Structure 1
Amino acid sequence: MTSDHEAAAVPAEQQAREAEITREVLDSFRDCTDPRLRQVMRSLVHHLHAFIRDVRLTEDEWSKGIEFLTRTGHITDDRRQEFILLSDVLGASMQTVAVNNQAHGDATEATVFGPFFVEHSPEIAAGEDIASGAAGEPCWVEGAVTDSTGKPVPAARVEVWQADGDGFYDTQYGDDRTAARAHLFTGADGGYRFWGLAPTPYPIPHDGPVGNLLEASGRSPLRASHLHFMVSAPGLRTLVTHIFVSGDELLPRDAVFGVKKSLIKEFQRQPEGTPTPDGRDLDGQVWSQVRFDIVLAPDRA
């Protein structure tokens, strides 16, 4: 809404003219037969018009905004979703996640989906490696999936994806590789385990309009180190979340506001030659391990 100071600077006749335009547009939806669509569109118009009046948007600024959205559309394709990126950096993604994932007991907190999820990832067995040749330090990841009563959830689908040690997802390489992503299923005890990569910080794609916006705003494109999860099981709410690396200096300023305190985990680095949990021979390589226990809320919680 327009502040008292700004409203005082706009003549009453002009304020009335602007308010009438908003009323006309709101009234144009009165015959919409879909009540939810009518509610959403009327609220969108109300807040959009209020924003325009609040900042006294110029026609040149409006044109630049349309140009920005046009460029965002042009750079978007089946491998790059610039609109999701825009939603993420404006905090709209996290706000939508918060609205749609209400707290339920000790259920694991959700966070942003991100632009790098790909359908039909390869399936691996428990204890296998998702890296598929991607560069990075090996990391043993394990945990258990339970419901909010503490009961193990067998056969839950655990989808995981991450950037490699160079800070890139497989989809960013421009070829057909599939790496550092996979899915597996929990055992009868709800347990899961796999080899991944120790998460590293990386910049979100900033060679397009969203990157231009961040630069102009004095904001960093860097994301705190993390590993993505999507966990689903019948009758339980699908969880989309990350885990973050304790001690990462980027935790307070993650570019997409995805960090939650409960999702910060200890990734314990192991000295060279330390035996691995499954006996894997890493040829003396340094590796790390982390435990992430997951609690799923009821489907309608």
Structure 2
Amino acid sequence: MRNLNENTITQAVINRNEGTQNERLKEIMVSLVQHLHSFAREVELTEKEWEVGIKFLTDVGQICSEKRQEFILLSDTLGLSTLVIAQNHRKPEGCTEATVFGPFYVSNAPELALGANMSEGVKGTPWFVSGTVKSIDGKIISNAKVEVWQSDDDGFYDVQKDGLDHFEGRAIFNTNEKGEYHFETILPDAYPIPHDGPVGKMLQALNRHPWRPAHLHFMITAKGYERLVTHVFKENSEYLDSDAVFGVRSSLVSEWVQHENGQDPYGNRHNTPFSTLQFNFVLNPIVETKK
């Protein structure tokens, strides 16, 4: 293996990796090496271009922190996240579709009672969200864990705010015996993904915008069912057809009903505008395969 050239290097690398005992790792690495080398040959990659590529990946890693995941943004904006999700979450027709996870989820959000306001004290238009969680066969799913998170009406998540020592716009709810969930929050708006870093520079170079349409994140888990990670998007929101992270599905676009004033779903009178959303989720049962 001393006199390798552009025609023999690919197989040499594959042969060098043959010693792994992990068959899945071997399969992935063979394909990765083949595709990477084919890419370099196809575009006739120069040394200078590869130096720029290495610096870009280095910058992506260096900007990552507990509050920022630039590699998720990179995966999202290249459509890779959507591809991986789509091929790993093929569901029967009628199940709620999955979409991108996003970089702003946190695992220790507060658990609140149904009906609670998860954006207490945050400025914005009051928003009342409700719906059900059921199985594809219509079975009610009680005690499903419904994790919800969103931006504020300025487009920022709580984890993006310096000095904030409490959660805003995120919570965990559990469905009742009828499979129902309901809570209060504020209307989020369209917002740009963080674009002050290397991914933002990439989008600018590609003449692409960084904006996402208005949406609400959900992650729903229940015993015996596949986990669902999804969004609900605002009908007629700007950027539905040009979402920077390719996350929109037609089935996830819903009307966010505007009310100029009147009685909210909890019986309280509003003399100012508020909105409501009713969205039902349908989960796919886990099918156990026989060994």
Q: TM-score range by the shorter chain?
A: over 0.9
User: Which has the larger share of helix?
Assistant: 1
CA drift at 1:186: 0.2
The residue number in structure 2 matching 1:107 is 95
Partner of 1:255: 244
SS at match of 2:50: helix
1:117 aligns with 2:69: no
Query: 1: CA distance between counterparts of 2:32 and 2:138?
Result: 41
Is 2:179 the counterpart of 1:212?
no
Residue 43 of structure 1 corresponds to: 31
Match of 1:299 in 2: 286
Cα distance between partner residues in 1 of 2:284 and 2:17: 37
- Are 1:60 and 2:9 counterparts? no
The structural deviation recorded for 1:111 is: 0.2
Deviations 1:99-154, CA, capped at 9 Å, x for gaps: 11012231100000000001110111111111132222111111000011100000
TM-superposition CA deviations, 1:195-252 (whole Å, max 9, x none): 1222310000001001110011100000011000000001100000000011113100
Query: What is the SS of the residue equivalent to 2:18?
Result: coil
User: Aligned partners of 2:79 and 2:210: how far apart in 1?
Assistant: 13
The equivalent of 2:277 in structure 1 is 290
SS at match of 2:263: coil
1-structure distance, mates of 2:215, 2:192 = 12
Between the aligned partners of 2:8 and 2:224, the Cα distance in structure 1 is 48
CA-based RMSD = 1.3
Aligned positions of 1:106-145 closer than 5 A: 106-145=94-133
For residues 210 and 36 of structure 2, what CA distance do their matches in structure 1 show? 27
Partner residue of 2:156? 168
Q: What is the CA-CA distance between 1:281 and the residue it aligns to?
A: 4.6
Identity fraction in percent: 46
Q: 1:153 touches 1:186 (CA, 8 Å); kept in 2?
A: yes
Give the TM-score, by structure 1 length: 0.92
Match of 2:82 among 69, 88, 94: 94
8 Å CA contact 2:120, 2:185 repeated in 1? no
Tell me the amino acid that sits aligned with residue 188 of structure 1: E
The aligned amino acid for 2:213 is A
Out of 163, 186, 203, the position equivalent to 1:197 is 186
Deviation at 1:270, TM superposition (A): 0.3
Name the CA distance, whole Å, in 2 between partners of 1:203 and 1:153. Answer: 35
- Which residue number in structure 1 is paired with residue 264 of structure 2? 276
Deviations 1:268-291 (A, max 9, x none): 10012x100102354x22111111
Aligned partner of 1:297: which letter? N
TM-score normalised to the size of structure 2?
0.95
User: How far off is 1:300 after superposition?
Assistant: 4.0
Unaligned 5+ runs, structure 1: 1-15
Distance 1:115 1:136 in 2: 23
Q: Distance in 1 between matches of 2:158 and 2:119?
A: 10
How many residues in Structure 1 have an aligned counterpart in Structure 2?
284
Work out whether 1:232 is the aligned partner of 2:221: yes
Structure 2 CA distance for aligned equivalents of residues 251 and 162 of structure 1: 17
